[in-house]
Amino acid sequence: MSDATVLGAAQAEGFATVREVPAPGMIALKGDLSSPALAEAVRAVTGCAVPGLRRIEAAGPACAGWMAPDEVLLIVQRGDVPAALATIAERLSGAHHLAADVSDMRAVFRLEGAGAREALAKLAPVDLAPGAFEPGELRRTRLAQVPAAFWMEEGGITLVCFRSVARYAFDLLAGAAAPGGAVGHFA
């Protein structure tokens, strides 16, 4: 297991705050999202129901997010990943599926503060207006030139991208949130 941060918990203060946070345990689970066995596996590992289209379910720190018609992202404590994979293998034995520990594949950032929506809206082709994007939705998109996914929780936005582009993503976010850069579009 590698370090859970890539940039040493880098932080930038602007009209929104950007900080790298330790990557939690993340499991990519592909399979038939409508099957009862998969629902049981997701429930056993996260306490969450299988998320509906583009939704993310949360049960405490554990989450289950919809990534594709045949894929969910399960977020658990990092130390719980091996047990979670064993549980999934057991619940889905005999059913075609794939479960992979992708914790070390990703970097995770938090955007916080009143300008968080606006900073992100500069970088992604997504309507981030209040009402158009709200807690409970998980959006996969791009952040300038790299793929990313994000959702709102606890008064901020959590964003994940590939670990290999962590520096690029952090610099983008820090630049978009830089002091003096507020547009007030959602104000």
Partner 1 sequence: MLLLTCPHCGIDADETELAPGGEAHLTRHGPGATDDDFESYLFLRDNPRGVHLERWRHANGCGKWFIAARCTVSLEVFGTYPAQTARPPQHVLDAIEAKRPGATRKLPVMEGAR
Pick one of 12, 18, 67, 99: the residue that binds partner 1 (CB under 8 A): 67
In the complex, least distance from residue 147 CB atom to partner 1, rounded to whole angstroms:
5
Residue 15 · residue 181 · CB < 8 Å: yes
Q: Using CB atoms within 10 A of its CB, is residue 130 exposed (0-12), middle (13-18) or buried (19+)?
A: exposed
Per CB under 8 A, 121 contacts partner 1: no
Pick one of 69, 79, 131, 179: the residue that binds partner 1 (CB under 8 A): 69
Pick one of 59, 68, 89, 100: the residue that binds partner 1 (CB under 8 A): 68
* Gap between the Cα atoms of 16 and 1, Å rounded: 31
Residue 72 · residue 42 · CB < 8 Å: yes
Q: Using CB atoms within 10 A of its CB, is residue 52 exposed (0-12), middle (13-18) or buried (19+)?
A: exposed
Per CB under 8 A, 55 contacts partner 1: no
In the complex, least distance from residue 30 CB atom to partner 1, rounded to whole angstroms:
11
- Encoded one letter per residue, x for contact with partner 1 by CB under 8 A and - for no contact, window 1-40 reads ----------------------------------------
Per CB under 8 A, 147 contacts partner 1: yes
Pick one of 79, 125, 130, 184: the residue that binds partner 1 (CB under 8 A): 125
| Between 135 and 147, CB nearer to partner 1 | 147
- The secondary structure of the chain in percent helix, strand, coil, rounded to multiples of 5, reads 25, 35, 40
In the complex, least distance from residue 59 CB atom to partner 1, rounded to whole angstroms:
23
* Gap between the Cα atoms of 37 and 132, Å rounded: 33
